Amino acid sequence: MRVCVPVCAKSFVELEQACERASAFADIIELRLDCLEDNDWATQLESLIRKQSRPLILTFRPSEQGGHRVLSRAEREAFWKRDWSSSPTALTDIESDLVCDAASQTFGGSFEWSRVIASHHDFSRVPADLEHIYERLAATPAHVVKIAVSANDITDCIRIFHLLERARREQRNLIAIAMGNAGVATRILGPSRGAFLTYASLEETSATAPGQVNAQQLRSVYRMDQIDEETTICGLVGQPVMHSVSPHIHNAAFAAEGVNGVYLPLEVRDIEGFIKRMVHPKTREFDWNLRGLSVTAPHKSSVMELLDWIEPEAKEIGAVNTIVVDAEGLRGYNTDVHGLMEPLRKRVGSLTGLSVAVIGAGGAARAAVWALQRDQAKVALFARTRPKVESLAQSFGVSFEPVQGAQFRDFDVVINATPIGSAGWVEGTPAGAEQLAGARFVYDLIYNPVDTQFLKEARDAGCDTLGGLEMLATQAQLQFNLWTGKTPPASLMYDAGLAALSR
């Protein structure tokens, strides 16, 4: 497995420092020379190249093809006509227009073809003529063909995987990537399916293309070096998903249990197309060892009509958060209820007869109300939007009130089942300290951040509190068991999630 880490810096000094950091995780380092503002190429670049212990890729990309500076064709031609013999191990990533002209002898320079990566980029879509682009580049003498296109939904990955299969049959070196969050699977699984290499960012903030995974995480969290075609694949389905710590939790469990498995973030817009074309064993369009899926917003309810069997509890709740994939079809479960209730019971004991306020009107609130009523708690709903909470309250026969101005002093437990206060969503809190004063116990289902504003307000009001990370780990433990038959310690999964959130 080859991991290439691109480094992009404005000066040669910064570039050299970045190379030193990248060498800890990279098999190959890409020097993004189009990032440089220094103009003293001759001496500094040759010196930098000689110092590197890792093989290199040299890239000098124009802005219209994803580079960091405006470059004329004449500037690019002059650059690639230089003598690169000072770096016998360096590959040169050259755009398709120059490569194809050179191959047809309309470009006056000559390339050392054994070191050329012929690259094509499309930052807007997967082009309709993708296969023709591959054929045109494969017809050149270039050592490697690179095609990077943009995935607007996860099903765009299918054509990339098909292209990798074709290149392997034809014994052609190919780098094929679907850029963007919807294409992350191609970056992680590509090398196990024949890709010449994959790209990973040096730091979270230094990606040189959309959807690049951090190099350290690629090796430590996803254990990419151990992925092969027999690897069990599970993943998180939703939109968005890249913020989730579920990959950290489940991949830690795979490692601890000695299972050849990987858990991926799978950003899905069209859930029906995804299930039909990539998941269901009777209709999917390419072969991968997919075993299970976690399902998050906005697909927990809409996915139900696409499954072959659903457990009775999930049917009653009206939401599925777990799918098991086998040869016969797709089975749906709801592990959120177990994840929500087990930590709560540990803190407050039996819920029979307790007064519980649930803030929210979405899928999490629905699961909470169903579970609390099963445990014979007295439930009341609170929300900001009346029509939505009114429908939910009528479904379960509970009272409802607006959360604005509500007082929770008469409740034993107050549960936040809204996204208010979660990272990357909505800042703030659904209720303040004055509202929470007098409540016995406050439970926030949000896990990121670990300490939400809602929990801080509750502590200021003198309430005992619990955050959502324990719920996440508890429900994930049950998911993992459904997929693999193994039960890793919930504490291991919790610690993995906490470590990810503490970075």
In a domain, 475, yes or no: no
Report the alpha-carbon distance of residue 482 to residue 489 in Å, rounded.
15
Last residue of a domain, one of 221, 256, 286: 221
End residue of a domain, out of 189, 221, 253: 221
Question: 101 pLDDT band (50/70/90 cuts)?
Answer: confident
> Do 161 and 214 fall into the same domain?
yes
Task: Kindly report the backbone phi and psi dihedral angles of residue 292, in degrees, each rounded to the nearest multiple of 5, phi listed first.
Answer: -160, 155
Q: How is residue 443 written in tokens? A: 């439970």
Residue 229 lies in a domain: no
Cβ atoms 349, 493 nearer than 8 A: no
**Count of Cβ atoms closer than 10 Å to residue 328 Cβ:** 10
Q: Around Cβ 18, how many Cβ atoms within 10 Å?
A: 22
231 within a domain of the structure (yes/no): no
On whether both 65 and 184 belong to a single domain, the answer is: yes
Mean pLDDT of 9-21: 92
Rounded-to-integer distance, Cα 157 and Cα 15, Å: 32
Predicted TM-score (pTM) of the model is 0.93
Same domain, 495 and 463: no
Q: Which amino acid is at 326?
A: D
Same domain, 217 and 249: no
Same domain for 9 and 149, yes or no, is yes
pLDDT tens digits for 123-140?
A: 999 999 999 999 999 999
- Residues forming the active site: 300
364: containing domain? 337-467
Which CATH number characterizes residue 287's domain? Answer: 3.40.50.10860
The answer to whether position 276 is within a domain reads yes
Q: What's the structural domain count of the chain? A: 3
Tell me how far CA of residue 315 lies from CA of 97, 236, 370, 455, in angstroms.
55, 21, 11, 32
Instruction: Name the least confident of 103-112, 174-183, 479-488.
Output: 103-112
Does the residue 408 lie in any domain? yes
- Whether 451 maps to a domain, the answer reads yes
Same-domain pairing of 103 and 34: yes
Shared-domain flag, residues 449 and 301: no
Whether residue 106 sits in one domain with residue 190: yes
Write down the pLDDT at residue 306.
98
| Closest to 127 measured CA to CA, from 100, 99, 156, 154 | 156
Q: Is residue 57 part of a domain?
A: yes
Check residues 346 and 390 and name the one with the higher pLDDT.
Answer: 346
**145 and 184, same domain (yes or no):** yes
418 part of a folded domain? yes
Verify that 384 and 365 share a domain, yes or no: yes
* Same-domain check for residues 105 and 215: yes
> In the prediction, which pLDDT does 360 show?
94
Q: Are 290 and 275 in contact (CB under 8 A)?
A: no
**Where is pLDDT greater, at 44 or 223?**
223
Same domain (yes/no): 135, 124 = yes
